[in-house]
Amino acid sequence: MTDDDRVFKALADPTRRFLLDRLFARDGRTLTELESELDMTRFGVMKHLRLLEDAGLVVTRRSGREKLHFLNPVPIRLIHDRWIDKYTERQVSALANLKHELEETA
Amino acid sequence: MTTMTEIQTTQVYQVFILASPEQIWEAITNPDFTQQYFYAARVELKNGRRMAYGPGGEIWGDEAILESDPPRKLVHQWRGQYDPDLAAEEPSRVTWEIEPHEGGVTKLTVVHDQLEGAPKTAESVAGGWMYIISGLKTLLETGKPLKS
């Protein structure tokens, strides 16, 4: 699986997107904190966090005795640079060409 | 549940780059590299300080280096001297961790923390680091800067 595959797979699940949204709202949370917001077993939440970590969307760091989970937005940015920019650029240039042609014939 | 986003006083950014730790160290400390992805800033380590200059030679950063262990770790202060509103806030801290991974890939982690006294800086750098790190990866892997 490529890096992109892992990111898309990780994002293709509502629970994992929910976890990312919770970290976006407040970063650096423990498993216990994240678990308290979900109607799911601790093991289930751990599994989802593991997939997010494998995709690089979540990075864990130790702080004393606690393991804190941080949202890492870089893979999403890379997907954006790789996929979104490319297609929106074509639209923009198509519009620019259209404008150019219309003005030429006017 | 709150919909407001709190100020993130510790921000973590991580990326895997197909490059050696030495190449990454070079890319974050050599002004000819940094100006290609770091908002055109020319960054250099000089006399125990991390200096950043704008395109006209103006000082964008003059930061104390707290730890330097080439090519693995660089820790320095951060004050947003490129913007008076940010410069007025308390200094925060930036840590660059460079760890070899596998298959010629190196893991770069940037932690911007101690942002408790710098809420405007925290908000301002959040998008900036993503852009910088994405640009750094592109530059090292393709030899070309990201299109702006």
* Model pLDDT for residues B99-140, shown as the tens digit of each residue: 999 899 999 999 999 999 999 999 999 889 999 999 999 999
Count of residues for chain B? 148
By CA distance, what is A85's nearest residue in B? B147
Q: Bridge partners of B42?
A: B53
pLDDT at site B48: 93
The answer to whether the CB atoms of A74 and B131 lie below 8 A apart is: no
* pLDDT tens column, B70-79: 999 999 999 9
Which of residues 54 through 73 in chain A touch B, CB cutoff 8 A?
A: 56, 59, 61, 70-73
Instruction: Judge contact between B115 and B121, C-beta under 8 A.
Output: yes
The domain ranges of chain B are: 11-142
Q: Yes or no: is domain B11-142 CATH 2.40.37.20?
A: no
Tokens at B133, concatenated = 């790190």
Amino acid at position B39, single letter: Y
Q: Provide the percentage of residues in chain B whose pLDDT is more than 70.
A: 95
pLDDT > 60? residue A72:
yes
pLDDT at site B76: 98
pLDDT > 80? residue A91:
no
Q: Is residue B81 within 8 angstroms of chain A, CB to CB?
A: no
Of A25 and A94, more confident:
A25
Which of residues 4 through 63 in chain B touch A, CB cutoff 8 A?
A: 4-6, 8, 10-16
User: Rounded to whole angstroms, how far apart are CA atoms B147 and B72?
Assistant: 28
Alpha helices in A1-106 (DSSP H): 3-11, 14-25, 31-35, 42-54, 74-79, 85-105
User: Rounded to whole angstroms, how far apart are CA atoms B112 and B129?
Assistant: 9
ipTM of the complex: 0.81
Burial of A18 per CB tally in 10 Å (0-12, 13-18, 19+): middle
Amino acid at position B136, single letter: L
For the segment B87-95, the average pLDDT, to the nearest whole number, is 96
pLDDT at site A2: 82
For the segment A27-53, the average pLDDT, to the nearest whole number, is 96
Angle, helix A42-54 to helix A3-11, in steps of 10 degrees: 150
